[in-house]
Homo-oligomer: A and B are copies of this chain.
Amino acid sequence: MKTAINPTRAENFPEWYQQVIAAADMAENSAVRGCMIIKPHGYGIWELIQRELDNRIKEEGVQNAYFPLLIPLSYMSKEAEHVDGFAKECAVVTHHRLEEDKENGGLKPAGELTEPYIIRPTSETIIGESFSKWINSYRDLPYKINQWANVMRWEMRPRLFLRTSEFLWQEGHNVLATAEASNKDARRHLDVYYDLFENVLAMPGICGEKTDDERFPGAIHTYTVESMMQDGKALQASTSHDLGQTFSKSANIQFQDEQGEMQLAHTTSWGLSTRVIGGVIMMHGDDDGLRLPPKIAPQQIVIIPMIKKDADPKVVMDACHDLAAKLKAKNIRVFVDEKDIKTSDKIWGWVKKGAPVRVTIGGREAENNQVEYALRTSNDKQNSTPDEFVANIDGYLTDIHDTLYNEAKAFLDNNIHDAETIFDLINFFRKKTNIGFVRMPIALLNDPKFEETCKEFSLTPRCMPFSDNGDMVIVGKSY
């Protein structure tokens, strides 16, 4: 069978992934090492994810703010464990001017800084510094801040969306009065992410806690949603950290409690990045390209006029714009594609871009008050009157969301394999055609064979699922 994307998922999953991004015109590599250009179709998806998450974050009483891009080098020395986790991969600003290079031509750096800055890889240190000034009393708590920002971690093996030197994200930073409150807060923000995953991205996943070795540098608990891609590998697109008093100690975030005593605060941080778009592609895409959950589709309905020689173009275009106006009135994101290219190229273009519903209207349809439509999740052509189509559209979109979710959920459930011993784990991954996660008793983490098994098969403990009350651990390959 001919597919729009070559190779297919089965033939070469990593290459299929790159080809989907190119075919859907979502992003591309730039001349800047490891940095991507997010093109309008990719960025449109990000904007919708942002809006959905931002609304949810604000419902939690979080306020948006903005902190500097640059962090003084000395801040990074304050928190030793955190530095170990990040220091190796920072972009370092050492000069603040350019001047003519008289020897070699062109320009050269000038104005050396007395203290270098790094471009933020994450902002705990610089935001902590502000918190120490802003927070004085128990009345100020909980204090909840989020920023939408670009961050940078130098990447030696970049991959579009999944691993790029610069990426976009939100990073939330909350300050709480007690250990209990900060743990509850970190868990709450994971729930907020999971709500986004399920109800917006149609992405099932496993919620749980990271094992000791996999925690964020400086965290006492790291909570995660682990998603399973169609090649059986895990993708972690959001995490929520209970930082305990690690950063409040190094930044000295104190408050006066109700008894007038000074107390060290507790903090959390929680983030979701453009990486999640890679997850959407690898969870929902098929061999014809992207399939977008309707809530993040920049164009939920694409209307394609088919003007053949025998038809009156005006009648066709009027029918298209009439339908678009009715859909817009229902707050549907609709796009009439009037571009001057071949109709079949246009249709395949929107298949590859993952538009949830495609409508075609030609001369015959326009005259007979009909539309032809296809859902991206079935591709069967159907007919109805425009009014019926408008009346049913919410149902179609819900249906597409549910289909994507249910397919992915079935795939996830079918690819979690129980193991009782390290030998079960080894036997599973030894067979190269086996994919997915292995779920095994937590005690096996301490088995002397566990580490070497992980090395041999490139495995990591993904999480200890909440649903197993911390008794089990999920192990798998990952992005």
A interface with B by C-beta (< 8 Å): 30-32, 35-40, 43-44, 46-47, 63-77, 83, 87-99, 106-109, 111, 116-119, 126, 129-130, 139, 145, 149-150, 152, 154, 166, 168, 339-341
Bound Cα distance A149, B168 (Å): 10
The 4 A-B pairs of least Cβ separation, nearest first, read A40-B63, A35-B68, A92-B95, A38-B66
Bound Cα distance A88, B35 (Å): 25
A40 interface neighbour in B43, B64, B109, B152, Cβ under 8 Å: B64
Q: Could you write out 13 A-B pairs with CB less than 8 Å apart?
A: A31-B75, A32-B72, A39-B65, A43-B65, A69-B152, A69-B166, A76-B98, A87-B98, A92-B97, A94-B95, A97-B154, A139-B340, A139-B341
* A64 proximity list for chain B (CB < 8 A): 40, 43-44, 47
A73 and B106 contact, Cβ closer than 8 Å, known pairs A30-B126, A66-B168, A92-B96: yes
Bound Cα distance A70, B66 (Å): 20
The answer to whether B91 touches A32 (Cβ under 8 A) is no
Nearest B residue (CB) for A164? B68
* A117 proximity list for chain B (CB < 8 A): 32, 91
The answer to whether A76 touches B107 (Cβ under 8 A) is yes
* A65 proximity list for chain B (CB < 8 A): 37-40, 43
The answer to whether A92 touches B90 (Cβ under 8 A) is no
**Nearest chain B CB to A275's CB is how many angstroms away?**
14
The answer to whether A339 touches B139 (Cβ under 8 A) is yes
The answer to whether B91 touches A93 (Cβ under 8 A) is yes
* A40 proximity list for chain B (CB < 8 A): 63-65, 145
13 extra A-B contacts, CB within 8 A, seeds A37-B66, A47-B64, A93-B94: A30-B126, A30-B130, A32-B71, A37-B65, A37-B68, A37-B130, A43-B64, A43-B65, A66-B168, A83-B98, A87-B97, A92-B109, A139-B339
* A116 proximity list for chain B (CB < 8 A): 95, 108-109
* A89 proximity list for chain B (CB < 8 A): 96-97
The answer to whether A31 touches B72 (Cβ under 8 A) is yes
The answer to whether A91 touches B96 (Cβ under 8 A) is yes
Bound Cα distance A149, B39 (Å): 14
Bound Cα distance A65, B65 (Å): 22
* A95 proximity list for chain B (CB < 8 A): 91-92, 94, 116
The answer to whether A97 touches B107 (Cβ under 8 A) is no
* A106 proximity list for chain B (CB < 8 A): 73-74, 77
A96 interface neighbour in B69, B90, B126, B341, Cβ under 8 Å: B90
* A35 proximity list for chain B (CB < 8 A): 68-70
A30 and B67 contact, Cβ closer than 8 Å, known pairs A92-B95, A96-B154, A340-B139: yes
Bound Cα distance A130, B107 (Å): 22
A93 and B96 contact, Cβ closer than 8 Å, known pairs A83-B107, A139-B339: no
Bound Cα distance A117, B165 (Å): 13
**Nearest chain B CB to A241's CB is how many angstroms away?**
22
* A30 proximity list for chain B (CB < 8 A): 67-68, 126, 130
**Nearest chain B CB to A324's CB is how many angstroms away?**
15
Bound Cα distance A74, B40 (Å): 26
**Nearest chain B CB to A457's CB is how many angstroms away?**
30
**Nearest chain B CB to A105's CB is how many angstroms away?**
8
Bound Cα distance A71, B33 (Å): 10
Bound Cα distance A175, B44 (Å): 20
Nearest B residue (CB) for A140? B339
* A73 proximity list for chain B (CB < 8 A): 98, 106-107
**Nearest chain B CB to A418's CB is how many angstroms away?**
42
* A83 proximity list for chain B (CB < 8 A): 98, 107
Nearest B residue (CB) for A115? B33
* A149 proximity list for chain B (CB < 8 A): 150
**Nearest chain B CB to A45's CB is how many angstroms away?**
11
